[in-house]
Copies of this chain bind each other. A is one copy, B any other.
Amino acid sequence: MADELNTGLLLYIPYRSLESRVFAAVTEAGYEITTAQMKLMQRIGPNGTRLTDLAEQAQVTKQTAGVLVDNLEKGGWIERVDDPTDKRARLVRISAKAQKVIPIAEAAVAEVEAEWEAHLGREQLAQLRRILTRLREVTDPYA
């Protein structure tokens, strides 16, 4: 269509590429988890996070977050515990199993980033991260 891709697509293409690589690494290491699950899991805080907060962060509905959390729980990636501050709420916490997969995912990210850096140069990759981090301030419900 257009020769000039819109910014959304320009953001999506590397994202998708990186995601596939991370997914492949995690799968190869013997773990079964989907990319959507990994994405949500990354938003869980160190002391646990409420489902509704996860939903907001991931910019999806409560129900979607609920299904993702259900499946994460079934896979042993998270546990749900009571929120001591509110009887309605639960906290979603990272499991020990998840702690094991994190370094694998991080190594895969690092490997891809090294390739990107080799292509762009260190300064441009750093600049990219800086700009994206600033962009979070207006695009991330939780920035």
Residues in A lying within 8 Å of B, measured CB to CB: 1-2, 5-20, 22, 39, 41-46, 59, 94, 102, 105-106, 109, 112-113, 115-116, 119-120, 124-125, 127-129, 131-140
B132 touches A10 (CB 8 A): yes
Q: So how many copies of this chain end up in the complex?
A: 2
Are A134 and B124 CB-contacts (below 8 A) given A7-B129, A42-B2? yes
Chain B contacts for A94, CB-based, 8 A: 1
Are A133 and B10 CB-contacts (below 8 A) given A46-B1, A116-B138, A138-B116? yes
B136 touches A7 (CB 8 A): no
Chain B contacts for A10, CB-based, 8 A: 129, 132-133, 136
Chain B contacts for A119, CB-based, 8 A: 134-135, 137-138
List, sorted by A's number, 29 A–B pairs whose CB atoms are closer than 8 Å.
Answer: A1-B43, A1-B44, A1-B45, A2-B42, A7-B113, A7-B128, A7-B129, A7-B132, A8-B22, A9-B42, A10-B132, A11-B15, A11-B132, A13-B132, A13-B135, A13-B136, A14-B132, A14-B135, A14-B139, A15-B15, A16-B139, A17-B59, A18-B139, A20-B59, A119-B135, A120-B135, A127-B127, A127-B131, A131-B131
- Minimal Cβ-Cβ distance residue in B for A59: B16
A8 touches B2 (CB 8 A): no
B11 touches A14 (CB 8 A): yes
